[in-house]
Amino acid sequence: MSCSKKKAPIPLQLPTRVEEPAPAKVNLTLHVTGRRADGYHQLDSLVVFADVGERLRAGATQGTSTLSVAGPLAEGVPGDGRNLILRSAELFDPRPAIAFDLWKTIPSAAGIGGGSSDAAAALRVVTALTGAPLPPLPEIAALGADIPVCLGQQPQRMRGIGEDLAPVPDLPCCALLLVNPGVAVPTGAVFDAMALRDNAPMVSRLPDWADLDAFTGWLSEQRNDMEPSARSLAPVTAEVIAALDAAPGCRLARMSGSGATCFGLFATLAEAEAAAGPLRRRAGWWVAAAPVARANDPQVTRATT
């Protein structure tokens, strides 16, 4: 019996630098269905991603991981261990040494997952640069309830405390107009101000939406249970929703997440862009129009040398 010579393993070809998108996360619905004994709230939410957001570039470095933050909304964003990007990298064992560069374009504490989407991008970056598998989902969810859903960057139903994710029926083509009035609304304060935390979930099986009319009709029957308390803390939120609702072509206006960012749903990007014009003239308001990413839409990940 002859034995063939064992071949040497092919070295893993890894990029030296990676760039990942960190798109805005939008809660089209957000039902708060209970509160666990450990204080975490139970949610039932239809989450989508807008084709607008931040960019995270990274490459290997020596020593410990670092983070630099630049961009139009970089002021006040921590570049130390308080940032979820660096905390996400610390979930890997062994800890990698990565130099992260974030281009910050989404308001902080805005209800559209800026920090969570950045953290998810950091997790994808580390796996691309090192070949290491993602950390266990419970550890990721413990770092931030929105991070697991942000990993996929596609429409999903998010339940539990953010760890229970499921695909949703195909969404019709549509666009979002996102508006933040320049007011930070801390999520914890919004939860504390809620009168009811034990609300009805969405139906167990989401419908198959034949078209945009069916989709927006169904959405109009759903809720964001955090919206009333967010309005009490930041009354300007009601002004934003009213402005969106009055825009020509707006099918639905609602708050996303814990606020204060609100969205208007439109049939086309052209309609959303047209509605954005007058709102961009409001002092201090951040305004962005973008298509909704649909299931299996390609996400851009670029590796450079």
pLDDT digits 0-9 by tens, 240-280: 999 999 999 999 999 999 999 999 999 999 999 999 999 99
Nearest to 221 by CA among 233, 231, 207, 240: 207
Q: How confident is the model at residue 2 (pLDDT cuts 50, 70, 90)?
A: very low
Residue 302's pLDDT is 29
Rounded to an integer, the average pLDDT of 110-123 is: 96
For the chain, how big is the Rg over CA atoms in Å?
Answer: 20
How far is Cα 3 from Cα 204, in angstroms, rounded to an integer?
58
The domain that contains 195 carries what CATH number?
A: 3.30.70.890
Residue 25 bears catalytic tag: yes
Does the structure show a pLDDT above 90 at 3?
no
Separation in Å, CA 254 to CA 27, 114, 225, 260, 272: 9, 18, 11, 10, 15
How much is the pTM? 0.91
Same domain, 84 and 129: yes
**Is the Cβ–Cβ distance between 175 and 266 less than 8 Å?**
yes
**Whole-Å CA distances, 177 to 67, 100, 111, 253:** 30, 29, 14, 9
Q: What is the percent of the chain where pLDDT is above 70?
A: 92
Q: Which residues pair with 19 in a beta bridge?
A: 57, 302
pLDDT digits (tens, 9 = 90+) for 68-96: 999 999 999 999 999 999 999 999 999 99
Q: At what angle do helices 236-245 and 269-279 cross, to 10 degrees?
A: 130
Query: Above pLDDT 90, what percent of the chain?
Result: 84
Structural domain that includes position 191: 170-291
**Mean pLDDT, rounded, for 98-127:** 96
| In a shared domain, residues 31 and 147 | yes
Q: What is the pLDDT of residues 170-220, one digit of tens each?
A: 999 999 999 999 998 888 899 999 988 999 999 999 999 999 999 999 999
Mean pLDDT of the chain: 92
Find all residues with CB under 8 Å of 48, minimum gap 6, and list them. Answer: 25, 26, 28, 155, 171, 176, 292, 293
What pLDDT does 40 receive? 87
Looking at residue 304, what is its pLDDT?
28
* In a shared domain, residues 127 and 225: no
pLDDT at 5 over 90: no
* Same domain (yes/no): 104, 229: no
Last residue of a domain, one of 165, 191, 222: 165
CA distance 286 to 179: 6
On whether both 62 and 33 belong to a single domain, the answer is yes
pLDDT band at 1 (very low <50, low <70, confident <90, very high): very low
- How far apart, in whole angstroms, are the C-alpha atoms of residue 292 and residue 265? 9
Is 181 found in the same domain as 146? Answer: no
Q: How far apart are the first and last CA of the chain?
A: 47
Please indicate, yes or no, if residue 225 is contained in any of the structural domains.
Answer: yes
Instruction: Assess whether 146 and 179 both reside in one domain.
Output: no
Q: What is the number of domains present in the chain?
A: 2
pLDDT the model gives residue 175: 98
Per-residue pLDDT reduced to its tens digit, 222-244: 999 999 999 999 999 999 999 99
Report whether 273 contacts 266 (CB < 8 A): no
Q: Are residues 79 and 136 in the same domain?
A: yes
For residue 178, tell me if it sits in a domain.
yes
Dist CA 184 CA 220 (whole Å): 26
Are 61 and 159 members of one domain?
yes
pLDDT score recorded for residue 13: 66
Instruction: Examine residue 296 and state whether it is found in any structural domain, yes or no.
Output: no
Residue 1 domain-assigned? no
Catalytic residue among 51, 118, 146, 225: 146
Domain stop point among 112, 130, 165: 165
165, 180, 210 - which closes a domain = 165
The pLDDT score that the predictor gives to residue 12 is: 55
Do 154 and 174 sit in the same domain of this protein? no
**Per the domain annotation, does 256 fall within a domain?**
yes
Pair (27, 157) in one structural domain: yes
Contact between residue 18 and residue 212 where contact means Cβ atoms under 8 Å apart: no
CA distance to 32, 100, 157, 271, 285, per residue, from 253 (Å):
19, 36, 20, 14, 16
Q: Count CA within 13 A, CB hemisphere, residue 105.
A: 14
- Is residue 198 located within the same domain as residue 225? yes
What CATH number should be reported for the domain holding residue 151? 3.30.230.10
Catalytic residue from among 6, 25, 211, 213: 25
Residue 76: inside a domain = yes
Active site residue 118: no
A 10 A CB-CB count for 173 gives: 13
Whether residue 10 lies inside any domain: the answer is no
The tens digit of pLDDT for each residue in 32-41 reads 999 999 888 9
Which of 99-103, 142-146, 299-303 is modeled with the greatest confidence?
99-103
